[in-house]
Amino acid sequence: MKLGIVTGMVSEARLLDGLGFAVISGGGHAEATRRKTLALAEGGVTTLVSFGIAGALDPTLKPGDLILADGVQMPDGRVIACDATQRDAIAAKFSARGGLVAGRSVAAGRVEKSTLFQQTGAIAVDMESHHVADVAAARGLPFVVIRAVADTVDDELPEAALVGLNEEGRPAIGAVLLSLLKKPWQLPGLIRVALRSRTAMNALLRSRAGLL
């Protein structure tokens, strides 16, 4: 089995260094993520994996909780199921919550997250899984989704956190500083995002065992 792994951030991709996987990061940019995911699928991988942090929609989820998704709800409402055999094999190696993941742009606010939870039943949301699911379905490849919760339902993501990555998944420091310069009151929220993201990244590091 040759894994092709799709992340949003370079920091997520680095957690997989040295394991021999084909890994890309798209920075949350739709066009770049889809293009790179297609390149993975056409490059000989046998399974696609969406790997990274996510925002909680289910109010019972907290930072650091791991999700091994049952399927992905697409922006058009379709649900594409994850591969059950590979999901079960991964689940045997670490404890994780199952459920639907909503793939779309980030849900930044409490009201938006709660509405999305009520409308879809998805327990979390991220910006890469729907691209992985779509490409996997089009190419006839199995796929799985491994996500760690960063922000909770009650967390309001500051604007500075939403402009923070370029298409390579690297920090766009200039855009973050400009946003903070315009709205300096975002700083406490940005610090909270960083701390909760660190908790999620530590959980992702533990989850690597499921891919080996």
209 vs 60: which has the higher pLDDT: 60
pLDDT band at 144 (very low <50, low <70, confident <90, very high): very high
Distance of CA 168 to the CA centre of its chain: 15
Output the DSSP codes for 159-199. HHHHS-B-TTS-B-HHHHHHHHHH-GGGHHHHHHHHHHHHH
pLDDT at 107: 73
pLDDT band at 164 (very low <50, low <70, confident <90, very high): low
| Res. 81: pLDDT tops 70 | yes
Q: List C-alpha distances in Å: 3 to 23, 51, 116, 144, 173.
A: 8, 11, 31, 10, 31
pLDDT at 27: 81
Paired with 102 in beta bridges are 73, 125
State pLDDT tens for residues 91-133: 999 989 999 998 876 777 888 889 989 989 999 999 899 999 9
Is residue 147 within 8 A of residue 127, CB to CB? The reply is no
Alpha helices in the chain (DSSP H): 10-14, 30-41, 84-91, 110-120, 129-139, 159-162, 173-182, 187-207
Calculate mean pLDDT across residues 21-31: 89
Q: How far apart are CA 57 and CA 101, in angstroms?
A: 9
Measuring CA to CA, which residue among 29, 20, 21, 53 is closest to residue 194?
53
pLDDT at 54: 93
pLDDT band at 78 (very low <50, low <70, confident <90, very high): very high
pLDDT at 84: 95
What domains are there in the chain, each with its CATH number? 3-158+197-211 (3.40.50.1580)
Minimum mean pLDDT among 48-52, 122-126, 198-202, 207-211: which range? 207-211
> Percentage of the chain with pLDDT > 70?
98
Task: Kindly report whether the global pTM for this prediction surpasses the value 0.85.
Answer: yes
